[in-house]
């Protein structure tokens, strides 16, 4: 149908529009074609007018029910952003986006279609480039050994790499676009905190309720020009296998330690039992021998006491025991210990000289006397054991000492110039787990420390150039 023109014709209007515009009549023949449309289609207006539109646009939807012209002509429907590919006169394919509107006469009847066409090749290229970039980024993320998950400003999940899928047991297609609250707790909470506060969390270990997974978590904000983050990134590593290996290793080490400790205890117990058993086997034959009975009595007494001390030390390591506090003079405690030590036949086979220096005034402390005697006794035995076979010399001094905080304490200093212990062994002297593997005598200081601390005191070791000493500091009894 011809379109009438006046002083300002429709054709003039079309030619002034920078977008590609063409019009067709009800028979789908070209009525008008502006300059940009000529460039896009490769057909001049003079050659195009009157020809069927399919010969100009040459698309796969021409003459099908998908054709937007048909829908607009039939129902007067306006169609926007209809994407299709057209072929120009040279056969080259061009992606275009169509918008169609009904062309009506003065009576409101649809007499044709006005179509605007946009070449979206550059948009498609940008989308392809963006898609390629996203694929590249996703490939990089998928190659990482750590799980990576990202969310946008609204808290929607935007990407999940392959390792994250494996660790969490989630499919990316099921969670992308979903709210971060759908993630296993507390991953969503950590991401939300970083998203809202912009705080970074680095290398935090936690265990998920989900399958008991151990993860090392880091979260980072994604920043732009604005104050608030554009999104957040969650990076995590599965530590479950490492934790299991560490647990197995720890269990194996504990079993090895238990084996060594049991072997050491068995060795400590076996020696005195062998000597006792030997004397028992001979007692029937040599009971009438007074020298044998005297020797038998001394050996059995010594070895039974050794057994008792073994069990007391082991008990001191693992049990608290009931304490019976009383006010006593430390001088009395030390004298009791020295008196109880038999210098030759119970002094680990070596002469033992103990020199006690004391103040004239009593040094009263409120302690469990029996436990303190045991603690001091074990320290003397330790110094004796680490002295040469010729002789062990030990000095014990008891003094009142003013502490730096203004308080006072009673010091019992047990020193020896004959005892010698390597520095690395002294570093472990109060570690019962380490020392019990070497010798039950060596565990004495660890037991002594436990006993001294139980009565409110402190035990320290001092290692000078020519002397090894233990310092027992006790709070004085209230006046």
The SS3 assignment for 84 reads: strand
> Is 297 or 137 the better-scoring residue by pLDDT?
297
DSSP 36: H
The rounded distance, in Å, linking the Cα atoms of 142 and 26 is 55
Cα–Cα nearest to 267, from 43, 439, 14: 439
- pLDDT at 294 exceeding the cut of 70: yes
Q: Which residue has the tokens 């607009």?
A: 72
pLDDT band of 441, cuts 50, 70, 90: low
Are the CB atoms for 23 and 114 separated by under 8 Å?
yes
Which of the residue ranges 44-53, 136-145, 285-294 would you say has the lowest mean pLDDT? 136-145
Cβ-based neighbour number of residue 388 at 10 Å: 10
Which of the residue ranges 157-161, 189-193, 207-211, 384-388 would you say has the lowest mean pLDDT? 207-211
pLDDT of 346 reads 52
pLDDT of 349 reads 64
34's tokens = 């502006």
Most confident of 9-23, 60-74, 196-210: 196-210
123's tokens = 């948009």
* Angle, helices 330-340/369-385, rounded to nearest 10 degrees: 50
**What would the pLDDT profile of 151-175 be if each residue is shown by its tens digit?**
998 999 988 888 888 888 889 889 8
The percent of residues above 70 in pLDDT, for the chain, comes to 86
Please give the order of strands across the beta sheet that includes 214-222: 157-160, 147-152, 231-238, 214-222, 201-207
Which of the residue ranges 58-67, 167-176, 189-198 would you say has the lowest mean pLDDT? 58-67
Task: Report the chain's terminal Cα–Cα distance, integer Å.
Answer: 124
pLDDT band of 247, cuts 50, 70, 90: confident
* Angle, helices 444-454/369-385, rounded to nearest 10 degrees: 160
pLDDT of 220 reads 92
Q: Which residue has the tokens 């593997």?
A: 437
The SS3 assignment for 89 reads: coil
> Is 304 or 241 the better-scoring residue by pLDDT?
241
Q: Mean pLDDT over residues 55-77, rounded?
A: 81
The rounded distance, in Å, linking the Cα atoms of 325 and 369 is 7
313's tokens = 């030390």
Those residues whose C-beta lies under 8 Å from the C-beta of residue 431, and which sit 6 or more positions away, are 446
pLDDT band of 410, cuts 50, 70, 90: very high
**What would the pLDDT profile of 342-401 be if each residue is shown by its tens digit?**
654 454 567 888 899 877 789 999 999 988 998 898 899 889 888 998 888 999 999 998
Strands 326-329 and 93-104: unpaired
pLDDT of 89 reads 64
Task: Give the predicted TM-score (pTM) of the model.
Answer: 0.45
Q: Mean pLDDT over residues 299-307, rounded?
A: 73
Structural domains for the chain: 10-119 (3.30.450.20), 125-238 (3.30.450.20), 243-317 (1.10.287.130), 320-474 (3.30.565.10)
Are the CB atoms for 343 and 462 separated by under 8 Å?
no
Q: Mean pLDDT over residues 115-121, rounded?
A: 84
Provide the CB-side half-sphere exposure for 22 (13 A, CA): 31
Give 165-168's long-range contacts (Cβ < 8 A, gap of 24+). 167/213, 167/215, 167/236, 167/238, 168/210
pLDDT of 345 reads 47
Those residues whose C-beta lies under 8 Å from the C-beta of residue 77, and which sit 6 or more positions away, are 71, 102
pLDDT of 427 reads 86
pLDDT of 7 reads 58
Are the CB atoms for 137 and 155 separated by under 8 Å?
no
Are the CB atoms for 21 and 117 separated by under 8 Å?
yes
DSSP 256-281: HHHHHHHHHHHHHHHHHHHHHHHHHH
- CA atoms 422, 427, 429, 433: torsion sign: negative
406-429 CB burial, b ≥16 within 10 A, e <16: eeebbbbbbbbebbebeeeeeebb
pLDDT of 119 reads 83
- pLDDT at 466 exceeding the cut of 50: yes
The rounded distance, in Å, linking the Cα atoms of 314 and 113 is 102
The rounded distance, in Å, linking the Cα atoms of 221 and 190 is 11
Provide the CB-side half-sphere exposure for 121 (13 A, CA): 8
* 3-state SS track over 294-317: HHHHHHHHHHHHHHHHHHHHHHHH
Cβ-based neighbour number of residue 385 at 10 Å: 17
pLDDT of 291 reads 82
pLDDT of 393 reads 92
Whether residue 5 is preceded by a cis peptide bond, meaning omega within 30 degrees of 0, is: no
pLDDT band of 313, cuts 50, 70, 90: low
The rounded distance, in Å, linking the Cα atoms of 205 and 214 is 7
């Amino acid at each position: 149908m011809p379109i009438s023109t006046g002083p300002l014709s429709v054709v003039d209007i079309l030619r002034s529009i920078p977008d590609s515009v063409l019009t067709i009549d009800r028979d789908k023949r070209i009525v008008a074609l502006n300059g940009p449309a000529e460039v896009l289609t490769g057909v001049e207006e003079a050659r195009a007018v009157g020809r069927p539109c399919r010969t100009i646009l040459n698309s796969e939807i021409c003459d099908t029910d998908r054709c937007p012209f048909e829908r607009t002509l039939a129902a007067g429907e306006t169609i926007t952003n209809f994407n299709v590919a057209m072929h120009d006169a040279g056969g080259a394919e061009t992606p275009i986006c169509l918008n169609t509107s009904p062309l009506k006469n003065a009576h409101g009847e649809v007499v044709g279609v006005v179509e605007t066409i946009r070449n979206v090749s550059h948009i498609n290229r940008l989308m392809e480039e963006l898609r390629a970039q996203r694929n590249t980024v996703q490939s990089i993320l998928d190659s990482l050994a750590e799980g990576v998950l990202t969310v946008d400003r609204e808290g929607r999940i935007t990407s999940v790499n392959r390792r994250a899928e494996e660790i969490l047991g989630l499919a990316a297609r099921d969670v992308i676009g979903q709210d971060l609250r759908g993630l296993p707790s507390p991953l969503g909470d950590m991401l939300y905190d970083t998203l809202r506060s912009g705080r970074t969390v680095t290398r935090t270990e936690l265990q998920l309720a989900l399958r008991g997974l151990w993860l090392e978590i880091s979260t980072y904000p994604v920043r732009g020009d604005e104050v608030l983050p554009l999104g957040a990134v969650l990076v995590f590593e599965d530590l479950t296998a490492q934790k299991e290996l560490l647990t197995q290793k720890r269990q194996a080490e504990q079993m090895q330690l238990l084996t060594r400790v049991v072997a050491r205890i068995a060795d400590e117990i076996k020696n005195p039992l062998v000597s006792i058993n030997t004397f028992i086997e001979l007692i029937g034959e040599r009971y009438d021998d007074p020298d044998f009975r005297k020797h038998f009595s001394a050996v059995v007494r010594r070895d039974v006491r050794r057994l008792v001390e073994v069990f007391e030390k082991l008990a001191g390591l693992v049990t608290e025991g009931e304490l019976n506090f009383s006010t006593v003079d430390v001088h009395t405690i030390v004298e009791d210990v020295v008196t109880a030590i038999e210098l030759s036949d119970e002094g680990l086979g070596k002469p033992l000289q103990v020199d006690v220096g004391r103040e004239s005034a009593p040094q009263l402390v409120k302690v469990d006397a029996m436990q303190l005697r045991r603690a001091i006794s074990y320290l003397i035995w330790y110094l004796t054991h680490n002295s040469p076979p010729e002789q062990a010399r030990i000095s014990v001094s008891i003094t009142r000492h003013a502490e730096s905080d203004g308080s006072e304490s009673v010091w019992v200093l047990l020193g020896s110039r004959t005892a010698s212990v390597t520095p690395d062994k002294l570093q472990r002297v109060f570690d019962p787990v380490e020392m019990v593997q070497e010798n039950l005598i060596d565990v004495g200081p660890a037991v002594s420390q436990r006993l001294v601390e139980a009565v409110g005191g402190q035990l320290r070791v001092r290692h000078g150039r020519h002397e090894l000493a233990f310092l027992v500091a006790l709070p004085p009894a209230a006046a």
